[in-house]
Structures are given as C-alpha cells and as structure tokens.
Amino acid sequence: MPLVKAFKATRPTRDKVSLIASRAYETYSKKEREARLDHNPFSFLHIVNPGYKYQKEVSGRKRFGLVKNRFQEFKEDGIFNKDDTPSIYIHRIVYRNEEVFTGLVAKSSCQDYIDGKIKKHEDTILEREKTFSEYLKTVRFNADPVLLTYPKRDSINQIIERYCSDRSEYEFTTTSRETHYLWLIKDENDIKNIEHEFAEMHNIYIADGHHRCASSALLAQKLAQENGKNNGDEDYNYFMSYLISEDQLAIHEFNRLITDLNGLDKDEFLIKLDENFKIENRGETYYKPHNKHHFSMYLDGEFYSLYLRKSQYHFENALEQLDAQILYKTVLKPILNITDLKNDSRIDYIKGQKDMAYVKSAIDQKQFAVGFGMLPPTIEEIKSIADEGLVMPPKTTYIDPKLRSGVTIYEF
C-alpha cells in the first residue's frame, strides 16, 4: 500500500520557467555550462553551482550552504513562489522524436522505501548516500524527482487525460527540442482517488534515482530520531517523485566497449567465446540483436552475432537470465578479466541510443578493441529482479523520461 500524497510545490513564475529549467548538472559540458551561467541569470544551474557567482570552485559543506542561499535569493526575488493549495502535478514531456511521457509529480513516503514497498533494482553506495543526505539536510528541498513506475491504471489515466484537455499551467520548449507541459490537480476528490489507487497497489518500483531515494530515507531516519515527537507525517518523511505508468517508460540498453583482449589475439578470443556462444561472422554488415540472449560484437573491422548456446540456459533466478549479467559471467569476467564493472578503466558504457554504429566508430579509431551490444531489459525483468531482492550490474538500463531541475520543488 504505497503512500502517495499531494504537496505545495515551490515553482517558477510562468514567464521564467523556460529559463530556469535545466538538465542535470553533470550532463552539460564545461563549455555548455559556462554559456548558460554567463548568459542566463535565471538558470537553476546558478543554484546548484553557487560558486560561479564568485568565479570560484566551492565544494563540501560550504557549497551546500551556498546552494541554500542561492535558492533563498531566488525566492526572495519572486522567481519562485510556493503554491497555496496542495496539488498533484501532471508533467508531460514530448521528445523531439515524438515520444510522449506523462506522469504525476507527488510526494512519496521514505518509510515505504525502507519497508520495501518502493522496490529497487540497483545497489547504492553508502558514502554517496551519506553525502547527499547531508546536502539535503542543509538545503531542505528536492529539485529532481525520483522516477517511480507503477502498473497501468485506467482510472488514473482518465483523471490525467481530463486535465490534459485543458490549457496547461506551463508550456515551454527547451534547446534540446523537448516540450514540457504542467497541469495542477487541486480538486480534493481527484487527489483522493489518485491516492486511493496507489494505496491499492502492492508495490511501486524505482526506475531512476536510487541514490536520491536512499539518501532521502537515510535523512528521514536521522531527523525522526532527533525529533522526539515524530509522527511520520512530517515533510522530511517524504521525497518528491515522478510517477509514471510502466507502459510509458522507454528503457534503453548500455553497450559495452573494452580497451583490449586481455593478452589474447583475435583467434584465441573467438575460440574462448565459442565455448558458450554460437558465433557468426557477419563481415561489414551491421548487426543488432533481435532476441534475448543474443549479442552483437564488433571486432577488428567486422560484426559478429553471438547466440548463447541452449546448453547454457540454466538460470536459477531473474538476475541470471539478464543479458548484461550473462555477458559479464561468460565473457567480461572469465575471458577479459574485468571483475569490477564500476571501476575498471578498461570498460566503458555507451547509451543504446548511440547504438553499434557508435561502437564501430570508436573501435575503428583504435580507442577500443572490442564492443558488445544487447537488447535492453524489459520492465518485467526489472521488476522480477527487484522482487527477488537482487540488483542489476552497473549501467544496465538508461531510462527515459528525464525531467528538468527546478520545474517543481519540494521543500521539507
């Protein structure tokens, strides 16, 4: 019975929302970031990069305090205002390729995450959790919602579509040619119906934002201990979420690029692969897999298809059936001696939108020796792994949509 509730968002004024909304800080190149900071005084990047005002790099607790100060300045200048009425917010994004994503911005319960009602499929790093938890304790706001997904509900869709038939509160297009829309659900009956629908679900799942969710839960536990009268309904017991139906997620794979063959020559490498895979040399013909447990490989100017041999179809759990795990267990670890998928400098990950053509280019330029492609996981695989309490290998999924920072903010 996941708890999803309305909240009073702090939001930009309608005339400035397009100037404020920004991508995640790390997705900008240094040149892009500086151009926005130099020429757009309203960008949310000024809040998360507060040292730029002084032309100085600021880190740690000093940065956290300055982030809080910049945010307060934006509020004092009337750039952000807090809504008077608790609402659930409909945020729709239309990508340049005409993909449409529509979800609900609400607050979700940290206790649900702790109790396993909000399920995860990735590991988190405790030190990152602690650092971000400290950041949250200082700034006391969420600007980037955790992406959660839930089973399709016609009743929720009907409420959403009813509001979307009216003019939106926000409508703006970014320089990446994404168009964003925002509607406010203020009606108490509609809010209650949405909350009831989520309460009827057994679980919801994290699609993206595992560290943000874990850090919020860690902070909630700390603040609850400090507050002798904690009743569970305090604002710090919640985090901002973007809830989207499973059928609306776009799940992409990450392709793998490896710098060398671990001392093997080409023929030795292929012979070792032959133990677990049926291999077909496809020459210069571009190949992308169409079935699970099939892989594409680019090596020495040629494409190969790798089909996992039927004799290897011995899976004891959902993780073992995952193609990224199969590649790790049969190729990366035993043949190429890559054991640490997070930190080994010999492996790089390429989002599936760039596909095997990008992999080919990188290898032809001698940046890498071999590359592998696979199909993305399905939502059913992700949920099965989460349900079994397992975690995926690093860089298994790249999930859309990605929301902009600063469109809705949750203060606690």
CB 89 within 8 A of CB 66: no
Q: Are residues 229 and 302 in the same domain?
A: no
Is the C-alpha dihedral spanning 404, 406, 410, 412 positive or negative?
positive
Distance between CA atoms of 188 and 104, rounded to whole angstroms? 15
CB atoms within 10 A of CB 265: 10
Q: Are residues 313 and 332 in the same domain?
A: yes
Closest CA to 371 of 254, 282, 277: 254
Q: What is the CATH number of the domain that holds 301?
A: 3.30.1760
Residue pLDDT, tens place only, 89-117: 999 999 988 899 999 999 999 999 999 99
How do beta strands 179-185 and 170-173 pair?
Answer: antiparallel
Residue type, 334: P
* Cα 385 from chain centre: 17
Residue 163 tokens read as 């509001």
Q: Are residues 169 and 233 in the same domain?
A: yes
Q: Residue 223's domain spans which residues?
A: 4-250+400-411
Q: Are residues 240 and 263 in the same domain?
A: no
Q: Are residues 46 and 191 in the same domain?
A: yes
CA distances to 11, 86, 302, 314, 316 from 185, in Å:
15, 9, 54, 49, 45
Q: Are residues 38 and 183 in the same domain?
A: yes
User: What is the DSSP-derived secondary structure letter of residue 328?
Assistant: I
Closest CA to 148 of 356, 354, 386, 388: 386
Q: How many domains does the chain have?
A: 2
Q: Are residues 405 and 376 in the same domain?
A: no
Kind and range of the H or E run holding 294: strand 294-299
Q: Residue 107: its pLDDT value, please? A: 98
Distance between CA atoms of 233 and 216, rounded to whole angstroms? 14
What length does the chain have?
Answer: 412
Q: Are residues 244 and 291 in the same domain?
A: no
Is the C-alpha dihedral spanning 119, 123, 127, 132 positive or negative?
negative
DSSP string, 97-126: T--EEEEEEEEEEHHHHHHTSEE-SS---H
Burial 173-212 (b: 16+ CB within 10 A, else e): eeeeebebbbbbbeeeebbeebbebbeeeebbbbbbbbbb
Q: Are residues 320 and 347 in the same domain?
A: yes
Q: Residue 57: its pLDDT value, please? A: 84
Phi, psi for residue 189 in degrees, rounded to 5: -65, -40
Q: Residue 335: its pLDDT value, please? A: 98
Phi, psi for residue 109 in degrees, rounded to 5: -85, 130
- Each of the 412 residues of the chain gets a pLDDT tens digit; together they read 899 999 999 999 999 999 999 999 889 999 999 999 999 999 999 999 998 888 888 888 899 999 999 999 999 999 999 999 999 999 999 998 889 999 999 999 999 999 999 999 999 999 999 999 999 999 999 999 999 999 999 999 999 999 999 999 999 999 999 999 999 999 999 999 999 999 999 999 999 999 999 999 999 999 999 998 999 999 999 999 999 999 999 999 999 999 999 999 999 999 999 999 999 999 999 999 999 999 999 999 999 999 999 999 999 999 999 999 999 999 999 999 999 999 999 999 998 778 888 999 999 999 999 999 999 999 999 999 999 999 999 999 999 999 999 999 999 9
Q: Residue 352: its pLDDT value, please? A: 78
Q: Are residues 131 and 227 in the same domain?
A: yes
Residue 394 tokens read as 């690093």
Closest CA to 405 of 163, 240, 214: 240
Q: Are residues 300 and 229 in the same domain?
A: no
Q: Are residues 278 and 220 in the same domain?
A: no
> How many Å from the N-terminal Cα to the C-terminal Cα in the chain?
23
Who contacts 269 (Cβ-Cβ below 8 Å, separation ≥6)? Answer: 261, 299, 335, 370
DSSP string, 229-249: T--S-SGGGEEEEEEEEGGG-
Residue 220 tokens read as 């909630």
CB atoms within 10 A of CB 311: 7
